[in-house]
């Protein structure tokens, strides 16, 4: 061959290589192959944004109608019908606020704060969710003639960092130069596809209210800086404490403003113990006393520390029993004593409890919304003294005191008092505000609907004075009220928010509003009764211990496991994709606790890697609840420690069935019930059976456009279940085969399935019907992987485990879509593959397939069952923790075979691997 | 024309080289593939069973090593219709399950091989050693026969079907003949190797399903 020929061959070869490489690098859409479908979510996002705008308008209309309805209800506690009429005419301006309510009726208002200037002028600020973003709205109290109703200025807005901001807890303070400051946390840099960073910012109103000063950024850590608390000392120095997450773990931080400049953040606590919700008060010596709660001891305890200059002091244990002791508050009284209050909830809060462990008498912990009461103590000269508990009206008392040692585990005695806030005035008076649990009259099936109101009391020589339950204060438990003693006249300003729920539907919000109430100076002189030493509460009579060391070892094993799937290394993430909070209408603020405590549970108590708050219809199709749900999922985005997904439960009754809906990115609206036009009233409620025939198919269509997933749950109940009339493997790839709150839906006679041979169907929680067993779905050829989650009340006994290449929202959702999942009641490691195809996959072969199961149990594996096409084909009892077994199926059936393993440990724990589907083409 | 001849020669040489490279690559892949299927003790047992079912004598013998392989090889030369015998020996076998009896070292493994029949399982202890990047069987010893916790082929929807709420038909291959086959008495417990070729275990010849 001549030189030219070689060159020609060389050039052609290079061209071929470059072409092949180029093809590989080409975008799927350019290639024109099937992978282009992967790009669909981007278009879906745009469509979703348009839909979001439409849904927003719908929600606003619904809110107006609801508020109008509320005005028609004869509620002695509700505002007069003409107080804040919701304008039917959109051109009608909102009315100016009068009385305690600041709200104008065009927004959802929360996190109200109040501050007083030297001349006694009162300012109030609150977060207003308006038109798809947050605002800080500010009012000044106007001077009115004595005896006339108090009036506030028309609101103004403080410009924030982002044009469409996402903020948290705006708080007011007045500095030494009598300037008003707003200190808030804001998420910056968020897009629909990724969470931004939460930092603290401050901005002052300069020149006696003539202009806003520059925005001062107080923090710059790349992880969330949130849950701040602001106080001002007697010299006008502003003190700010907050919860930072430098290592994805709550640490307490502090900074100050001396009138000239803001100090750099000072780490008050560091280390692996998760510290939450710091609060600060300053004594007359200028020493900062900071309280916080922490999971450092394996349950929530309250600690106190002080900072003198830039030296954080020792951390002093205040309440360290195995009860839930959290949400502390602190005040420094004029006599130098440090008052501390916190809420004490259930024993081993959030540990194992749910239907089957109760059935088997193995309950260890208490529900997240378990009964709680505010405890008060005084730290005086190194001693901790017990102060009386705040008063609870007789008609608000639960049947059993939560911490009565003779009580059973205080699991379902939801109620009591919570969210304490202390303040001390210059006369030596100590004020205490708290949320008070109330319940509606018993409704159907004797169930109560519950809600919380705001109460305030003050300490006297005879103990706490009768509490004042503030009007119009019904709402969530998660209301952060602020107390501001007035220096001029000894009165107390209370800033709070409420959502105007009515006696007819005390679980259902109408409109979140902000309030400032002023309580006159009490006639009783300040004082305190003689206090004795604080004694920690006794354990309940039937308290069980929990093996923290064993759980830690199990979790390390789960997190350390690595598995190669299709050439890519994967790890297991543990999650819960079905949890409720106070924002679910069906139970309200009952057993599930607040949306804030959902995150504590997920991050610390259950040590989840991912999960989703899935309140019904995103919080009852109530726009602010869905906003809070999504916003809080951004606030606690702490990869790889914890990755919250955006989710809600869509509760269409049997036979369509309930489904949890999950999204990897924000801004997709809740898909409403597609109702028949046979309903009356404003809302269909959180569950509906009156939907059009193709309601579920319309949901699938919506999820295809928006990149979301749906997961059917309790499919074998006759209330929430389904007869498996619908499935779409692309958007409904897995099923919640077991639910902690109720039963397994695997198959009649299966582990943790309602024992129909022993107990009638009506004894099954949620009801019973066996057409919804998951084996029916598999029998119909549905490609469904297995997951396990909790639902109402249940904690720590049901996990969705996912093999993912990265701990990232989209990657986790994609892994679920690939059915690389298993469900388990404990921290088992389960890996199942067939001829190198991981569980969830489907493939074709002509050889007898070899199915390999690898398990690391948390106890001895008592039983392995391998199921193919609705038949047991292999069962064994290994009797050890580690199992690695390969089954070769010599007689697969022609066509499609589904196979999966189910495991049962000798301690009753269960795991369900996702199936593999094998199309057998051999003889 | 001379230049045409040169081009022809060049083309022929190039073609020959390409064909040769392809054949070499294919054979190398075949060799690697043969090793890959024996890459773990488990894989060796799976391959032995599959080879028996396919009547692939070469692949079957490739799963053995040492004196056992020599003995099998010798018998295979004298046994007529070995491929058919292999196929027949696994005809009633529903499946096999294999797992480590004790943790393997880098060069030796002791496995348990459960052979699943309709009505009973049969367990064997299998010793393997690793030679030249492949695991091969060096001994097989019968442990015994057991009744499984749930019999092979037990359907789970029996009760449901009786109540008329049915599991719904499978999309393909619905139904199964396996449960009906459970009661037939067959000579099902053969190794995937004619026992006559397995001298040290001759006492397990032709075990019946009830055993």
Q: Any idea which of A668-677, B157-166, B171-180 has the lowest mean pLDDT?
A: B171-180
Q: Indicate the pTM of the whole model.
A: 0.85
Residues A545-549: what's their mean pLDDT?
Answer: 94
3-state secondary structure string across A750-783? CCCECCCCCCCHHHCCCCCCHHHCHHHHHHCCCC
- The CA–CA distances, whole Å, from A875 to A54, A785, A826, A863 equal 54, 21, 21, 7
Strands (E), chain B: 95-102, 108-116, 121-131, 134-146, 154-155
What is the pLDDT, as a whole number, of residue B182?
Answer: 27
- Residue A144 touches chain B, beta carbons under 8 Å: no
| pLDDT per residue as tens digits for the range A202-223 | 999 998 889 999 999 999 999 9
Task: Please count the residues of chain B.
Answer: 211
What is the pLDDT, as a whole number, of residue A528?
Answer: 95
> d(Cα A562, Cα A729) in Å, to the nearest integer?
27
User: Is B148 within 8 Å of A890 when comparing Cβ atoms?
Assistant: no
Helix, strand, coil percent values for chain B (each to nearest 5): 45, 20, 35
> d(Cα A35, Cα A28) in Å, to the nearest integer?
5
Which residue in B7, B86, B99, B118 has the most chain A C-beta atoms within 10 A of its own C-beta, making it the best mutation to test that interface? B99
What is the pLDDT, as a whole number, of residue A50?
Answer: 42
Check pLDDT > 90 for residue A678: no
- Residue B94 touches chain A, beta carbons under 8 Å: yes
Residues A316-320: what's their mean pLDDT?
Answer: 98
Angle at A462 between CA A456 and CA A467, to 5 degrees: 20
**Residue B184 pLDDT level (bands cut at 50, 70, 90):** very low
**Residue A394 pLDDT level (bands cut at 50, 70, 90):** confident
Higher-scoring residue by pLDDT: A468, A370: A468
- The CA–CA distances, whole Å, from A915 to A220, A328, A412, A879, A897 equal 46, 48, 37, 24, 10
Classified as helix, coil or strand, A68 is helix
What is the pLDDT, as a whole number, of residue B133?
Answer: 81
Closest Cβ opposite residue B95 in set A889, A896, A897:
A889
Check pLDDT > 50 for residue B183: no
> d(Cα B37, Cα A888) in Å, to the nearest integer?
14
Query: What is the percent of chain A where pLDDT is above 70?
Result: 86
Classified as helix, coil or strand, A379 is strand
Strand order from edge to edge, sheet including A266-267: A226-232, A238-244, A251-257, A266-267
CB B148, CB A759: distance < 8 Å: no
Classified as helix, coil or strand, B22 is helix
User: Looking at chain B from residue 106 to 125, which residues have their Cβ under 8 Å from any Cβ of chain A?
Assistant: 114, 116
What is the pLDDT, as a whole number, of residue B169?
Answer: 34
Assess whether the previous peptide bond of B19 is cis (omega < 30° from 0): no
Chain B residues lying within 8 Å of A894, measured CB to CB: 172-173
What is the pLDDT, as a whole number, of residue B194?
Answer: 36
Check pLDDT > 80 for residue A646: yes
Check pLDDT > 80 for residue B122: yes
User: Looking at chain B from residue 25 to 64, which residues have their Cβ under 8 Å from any Cβ of chain A?
Assistant: 42-43, 45-46, 49-50, 53
What is the pLDDT, as a whole number, of residue B164?
Answer: 39
- ipTM of this complex prediction, to 2 decimal places: 0.80
Query: What residues contact B35, with CB distance under 8 A and at least 6 apart?
Result: B132, B133, B134
Query: What residues contact A22, with CB distance under 8 A and at least 6 apart?
Result: none
What is the pLDDT, as a whole number, of residue A447?
Answer: 66
Higher-scoring residue by pLDDT: A67, A568: A568
Buried b / exposed e across A501-513, counting CB within 10 Å, b at 16+? bbbebbbbbbbbb
Mean pLDDT value across chain A? 87
Measured over the CA atoms of residue A548, residue A553, residue A559 and residue A565, the dihedral's sign is negative
Q: Any idea which of A71-85, A185-199, A510-524, A823-837 has the lowest mean pLDDT?
A: A71-85
CB A899, CB A877: distance < 8 Å: no
**Residue B175 pLDDT level (bands cut at 50, 70, 90):** very low
What is the pLDDT, as a whole number, of residue A41?
Answer: 32
| pLDDT per residue as tens digits for the range B41-78 | 999 999 999 999 999 999 999 999 999 999 888 877 76
A535-539, A784-788, B87-91 — which one is most confidently predicted on average? A784-788
Higher-scoring residue by pLDDT: A11, A775: A775
Six-digit token string for A472: 């119009």
Higher-scoring residue by pLDDT: A72, A592: A592
CB pairs under 8 A between A and B: 144
Check pLDDT > 60 for residue A529: yes
Residues A389-409: what's their mean pLDDT?
Answer: 65
Residue A107, class by beta-carbon neighbours within 10 Å (0-12 exposed, 13-18 middle, 19+ buried)? Answer: buried
**Residue A29 pLDDT level (bands cut at 50, 70, 90):** very low
What is the pLDDT, as a whole number, of residue B16?
Answer: 77
User: Looking at chain A from residue 840 to 879, which residues have their Cβ under 8 Å from any Cβ of chain B?
Assistant: 847-848, 850, 852, 863, 865, 867, 869-878
Residue A487, class by beta-carbon neighbours within 10 Å (0-12 exposed, 13-18 middle, 19+ buried)? Answer: middle
What is the pLDDT, as a whole number, of residue A587?
Answer: 64
- Residue B182 touches chain A, beta carbons under 8 Å: no
What is the pLDDT, as a whole number, of residue A331?
Answer: 98
CB A842, CB A820: distance < 8 Å: no
Residue of chain A nearest B100, judged by CA positions: A884
> d(Cα A725, Cα A323) in Å, to the nearest integer?
46
Check pLDDT > 60 for residue A40: no
| pLDDT per residue as tens digits for the range B88-101 | 989 999 999 999 99
**Residue A505 pLDDT level (bands cut at 50, 70, 90):** confident
Check pLDDT > 80 for residue A838: yes
**Residue B204 pLDDT level (bands cut at 50, 70, 90):** very low
- Residue A890 touches chain B, beta carbons under 8 Å: yes
Residues A422-429: what's their mean pLDDT?
Answer: 96
What is the pLDDT, as a whole number, of residue A97?
Answer: 55
A161-170, A360-369, B163-172 — which one is most confidently predicted on average? A161-170
> d(Cα A859, Cα A838) in Å, to the nearest integer?
24
**Residue A93 pLDDT level (bands cut at 50, 70, 90):** very low
Q: Any idea which of A247-256, A706-715, B199-208 has the lowest mean pLDDT?
A: B199-208
Query: What is the percent of chain A where pLDDT is above 90?
Result: 74
User: Looking at chain A from residue 703 to 742, which residues have their Cβ under 8 Å from any Cβ of chain B?
Assistant: 724
Closest Cβ opposite residue B97 in set A9, A771, A885:
A885
Residues A239-249: what's their mean pLDDT?
Answer: 96
Higher-scoring residue by pLDDT: B185, A796: A796
Higher-scoring residue by pLDDT: A94, A564: A564
**Residue A193 pLDDT level (bands cut at 50, 70, 90):** confident
Check pLDDT > 70 for residue A698: yes
What is the pLDDT, as a whole number, of residue A12?
Answer: 45
Residue A274, class by beta-carbon neighbours within 10 Å (0-12 exposed, 13-18 middle, 19+ buried)? Answer: buried
What is the pLDDT, as a whole number, of residue B100?
Answer: 95
Across the strands, what pairs with A207? none
**Residue A21 pLDDT level (bands cut at 50, 70, 90):** very low
Six-digit token string for B165: 């709420």
> d(Cα A457, Cα A469) in Å, to the nearest integer?
9
Residues A55-60: what's their mean pLDDT?
Answer: 45
What is the pLDDT, as a whole number, of residue B32?
Answer: 58
Tokens 């002189």: give the residue: A525
> d(Cα A450, Cα A587) in Å, to the nearest integer?
8
> d(Cα A353, Cα A350) in Å, to the nearest integer?
8
**How close does chain B come to A751, measured CA to CA in Å?**
13
Check pLDDT > 50 for residue A62: no
> d(Cα B166, Cα B178) in Å, to the nearest integer?
19
What is the pLDDT, as a whole number, of residue A598?
Answer: 97
Across the strands, what pairs with A493? A484, A518
Check pLDDT > 50 for residue B195: no
Check pLDDT > 70 for residue A192: yes
Using alpha carbons, select from A519, A585, A482, A6 the residue that is nearest to residue A228: A482
- Residue B186 touches chain A, beta carbons under 8 Å: no
What is the pLDDT, as a whole number, of residue A69?
Answer: 38
Buried b / exposed e across A213-228, counting CB within 10 Å, b at 16+? eebeebbebebbbbbb
User: Is B150 within 8 Å of A890 when comparing Cβ atoms?
Assistant: no
Q: How many CA atoms lie within 13 A of A518 on its CB side?
A: 20
């Amino acid at each position: 061959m001549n030189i030219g020929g070689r060159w020609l061959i060389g050039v052609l070869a290079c061209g071929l290589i470059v072409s092949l490489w180029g093809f590989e690098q080409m975008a799927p859409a350019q290639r024109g192959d099937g992978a282009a479908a992967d790009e669909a979510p981007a278009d879906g996002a745009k469509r979703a944004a348009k839909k979001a705008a439409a849904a927003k308008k719908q929600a606003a209309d619904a809110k107006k109608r609801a508020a109008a309805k509320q005005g028609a209800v004869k509620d002695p506690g509700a505002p007069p019908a003409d107080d804040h009429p919701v304008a039917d005419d959109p051109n009608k301006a909102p009315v100016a606020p009068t009385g305690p309510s600041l709200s104008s009726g065009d927004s959802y208002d929360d996190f109200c704060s109040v501050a007083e200037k030297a001349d006694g002028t009162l300012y109030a600020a609150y977060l207003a969710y308006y038109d798809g973003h947050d605002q800080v709205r500010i009012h000044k109290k106007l001077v009115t003639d004595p005896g006339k109703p108090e009036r506030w200025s028309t609101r103004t807005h403080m410009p924030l960092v982002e044009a469409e901001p996402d903020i948290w807890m705006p708080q007011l303070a007045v500095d030494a130069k009598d300037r008003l400051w707003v200190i808030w946390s804001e998420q910056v840099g968020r897009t629909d596809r990724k969470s931004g960073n939460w930092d603290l910012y401050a901005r002052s109103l300069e020149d006696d209210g003539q202009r806003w000063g520059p925005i001062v950024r107080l923090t710059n850590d790349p992880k969330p800086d949130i849950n701040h608390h602001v106080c001002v000392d007697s010299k006008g120095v502003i003190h700010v404490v907050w919860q930072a997450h430098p290592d994805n773990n709550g640490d307490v931080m502090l900074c100050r403003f001396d009138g000239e400049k803001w100090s750099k953040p000072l780490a008050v606590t560091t280390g692996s113990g998760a510290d939450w919700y710091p609060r600060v008060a300053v004594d007359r010596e200028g020493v900062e006393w900071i309280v916080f709660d922490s999971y450092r001891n394996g349950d929530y305890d309250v600690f106190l520390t002080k900072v003198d200059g830039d030296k954080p002091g020792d951390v002093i244990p205040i309440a360290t029993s195995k009860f839930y002791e959290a949400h502390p508050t602190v005040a420094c009284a004029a006599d130098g004593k440090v008052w501390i209050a916190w809420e004490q909830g259930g024993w081993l809060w959030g540990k194992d409890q749910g239907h089957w462990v109760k059935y088997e008498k193995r309950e260890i912990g208490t529900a997240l919304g378990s009964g709680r009461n505010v405890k008060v103590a005084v730290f005086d000269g190194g001693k901790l003294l017990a102060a009386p508990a705040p008063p609870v009206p007789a008609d608000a008392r639960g049947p059993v005191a939560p911490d009565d040692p003779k009580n059973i585990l205080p699991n379902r005695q939801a109620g009591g008092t919570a969210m304490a806030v202390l303040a001390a005035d210059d006369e030596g008076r100590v004020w205490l505000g708290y949320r008070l649990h109330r319940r509606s009259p018993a409704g159907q099936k004797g169930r109560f609907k519950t809600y919380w109101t705001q109460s305030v009391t003050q300490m006297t020589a005879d103990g706490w004075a009768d509490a004042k339950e503030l009007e119009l204060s019904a709402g969530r438990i998660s209301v952060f009220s602020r107390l501001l003693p007035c220096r001029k006249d000894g009165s107390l300003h209370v800033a709070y928010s409420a959502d105007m729920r009515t006696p007819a539907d005390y679980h259902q919000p109408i409109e979140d509003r902000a309030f400032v109430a002023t309580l006159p100076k009490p006639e009783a002189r300040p004082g305190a009764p003689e206090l004795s030493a604080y004694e920690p509460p006794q354990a309940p009579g039937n308290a069980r211990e929990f093996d923290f060391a064993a759980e830690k070892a199990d979790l390390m094993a789960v997190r350390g496991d690595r598995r190669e799937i299709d050439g890519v290394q994967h790890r297991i993430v543990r999650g819960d994709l079905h949890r409720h909070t106070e924002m679910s209408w069906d139970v309200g603020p009952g057993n599930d606790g607040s949306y804030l405590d959902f995150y504590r549970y997920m991050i610390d108590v259950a040590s989840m890697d991912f999960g989703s708050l899935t309140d019904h219809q995103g919080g009852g199709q109530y726009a602010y609840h869905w906003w809070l749900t999504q916003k809080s999922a951004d606030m606690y985005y702490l990869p790889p420690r914890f990755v919250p997904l955006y989710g809600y439960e869509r509760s269409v009754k049997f036979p369509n069935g309930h489904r949890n809906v999950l999204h990897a990115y924000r801004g997709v609206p809740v898909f409403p019930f597609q109702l028949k036009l046979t309903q009356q009233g404003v809302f269909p409620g959180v569950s509906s059976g009156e939907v059009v025939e193709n309601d579920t198919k319309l949901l699938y269509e919506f999820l295809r456009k928006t990149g979301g997933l749906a997961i059917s749950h309790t499919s074998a109940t006759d209330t929430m279940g389904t007869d498996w009339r619908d499935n779409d493997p692309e958007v409904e790839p897995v099923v919640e085969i077991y639910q902690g709150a109720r039963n397994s839906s695997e198959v009649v006679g299966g582990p943790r399935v309602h024992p129909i041979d022993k107990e009638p169907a009506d004894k099954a929680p949620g009801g019973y019907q066996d057409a919804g067993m998951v084996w029916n779905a598999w029998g119909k050829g549905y490609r469904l992987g297995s997951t396990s989650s909790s639902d109402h009340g249940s904690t720590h006994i049901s996990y969705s485990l996912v093999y993912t290449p990265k701990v990232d929202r989209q990657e986790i959702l994609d892994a679920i879509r690939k059915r690389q999942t298993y469900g388990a009641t404990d921290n088992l490691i389960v890996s199942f593959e067939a001829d190198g195809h991981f569980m969830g996959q489907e493939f074709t072969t002509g050889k007898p397939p070899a199915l390999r199961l690898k398990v690391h149990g948390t106890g001895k594996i008592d039983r392995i069952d391998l199921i193919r096409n609705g038949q047991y084909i292999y069962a064994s009892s290994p009797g050890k923790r580690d199992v690695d077994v390969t089954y070769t199926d010599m007689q697969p059936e022609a066509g499609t075979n589904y196979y999966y393993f189910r495991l049962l440990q000798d301690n009753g724990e269960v795991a369900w691997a996702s199936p593999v589907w094998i199309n057998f083409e051999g003889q | 024309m001379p230049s045409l001849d040169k081009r022809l020669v060049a083309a022929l040489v190039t073609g020959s080289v390409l064909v040769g490279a392809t054949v070499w690559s294919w054979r190398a892949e075949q060799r690697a593939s043969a090793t890959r299927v024996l890459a773990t003790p488990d894989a060796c047992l799976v391959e032995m069973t599959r080879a028996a079912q396919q009547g692939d004598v070469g692949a079957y013998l490739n799963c053995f090593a040492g004196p056992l392989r020599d003995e099998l090889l010798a018998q295979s030369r004298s046994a007529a219709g070995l491929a058919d015998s292999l196929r027949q020996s696994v005809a009633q076998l529903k499946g096999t399950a294999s797992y480590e009896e004790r943790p393997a070292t880098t060069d030796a493994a002791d496995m348990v091989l459960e052979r699943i029949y309709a009505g009973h399982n049969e367990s064997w202890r299998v010793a393997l050693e690793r030679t030249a990047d492949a695991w091969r069987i060096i001994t097989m010893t019968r442990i015994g026969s057991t009744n499984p916790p749930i019999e092979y082929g037990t359907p789970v929807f029996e009760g449901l079907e009786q109540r008329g709420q049915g599991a719904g038909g499978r999309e393909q291959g619905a139904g199964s003949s396996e449960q009906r086959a459970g009661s037939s008495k067959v000579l099902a417990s053969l190794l995937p190797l004619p026992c006559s070729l397995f001298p040290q275990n001759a006492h397990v010849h032709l075990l019946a399903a009830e055993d």
